[in-house]
Amino acid sequence: MAFGRLERTTGPTPMSDINMTPLIDVMLVLLVIFMITAPLMSSSLRLDLPKTEAATPSDAPQFLIVALTPDGSLYLGDQRMAAAELRQRLAQAAQRTPGIELQLRADKMVPYGQVAELIGWAQDVGLNRIAFVAQPGER
């Protein structure tokens, strides 16, 4: 057994430089993206529209709310009324504003026949836009 000196080779020295190639690639990709999207973001059409007093938005609601309770009571907004009076008010509203929407709020315990009858009344007087209002369900 010979005890001799073993020669040790020195390992590679640690690299102290940053590899710039990936950084330059990312910067060039970002530059291309911004060059393409910048003209698209500023291509809005600028108009100087005329001003007039006649074109003010109306404050009147563009819908009617009709509610039907489980006991058969009819409400137009918050006002309770009889069936004949409701039909008359719906006809007046349809004549004043032809495209008005009827928002129907019916309790889930109301029989379908009463709801269908109310829809028929609305269609008879000329209200064809009918929306059914419901509460959002649980997910």
pLDDT tens-digit series, residues 41-82: 765 545 555 666 655 555 555 888 898 888 888 999 888 999
pLDDT interval class at 26 (50, 70, 90): very high
Residue 3: inside a domain: no
- pLDDT mean across residues, the chain: 81
Inside any domain, residue 96: yes
What span, in angstroms and rounded, lies between the C-alpha atoms of 68 and 111?
Answer: 10
Q: Is 27 part of a structural domain of the chain?
A: no
Number of domains composing the chain:
1
pLDDT at 29: 95
Domain-located, residue 68: yes
Residue 34 above 60 pLDDT? yes
**Structural domain includes residue 49:** no
Residues in Cβ contact with 69 at an 8 Å cutoff, skipping those fewer than 6 apart: 75, 107, 110
pLDDT of 132: 85
Q: Is residue 42 part of a domain?
A: no
pLDDT at residue 87, rounded to an integer: 92
CATH number at residue 122: 3.30.420.270
Q: Give a yes or no: residue 88 inside a domain.
A: yes
Range of the domain at 84: 63-132
**Of 30, 92, 29, nearest in space to 64 by CA:** 92
Quote the tokens at residue 39: 């003209």
Most confident of 16-20, 26-30, 59-63, 131-135: 26-30
Would 127 be classed as within a structural domain? yes
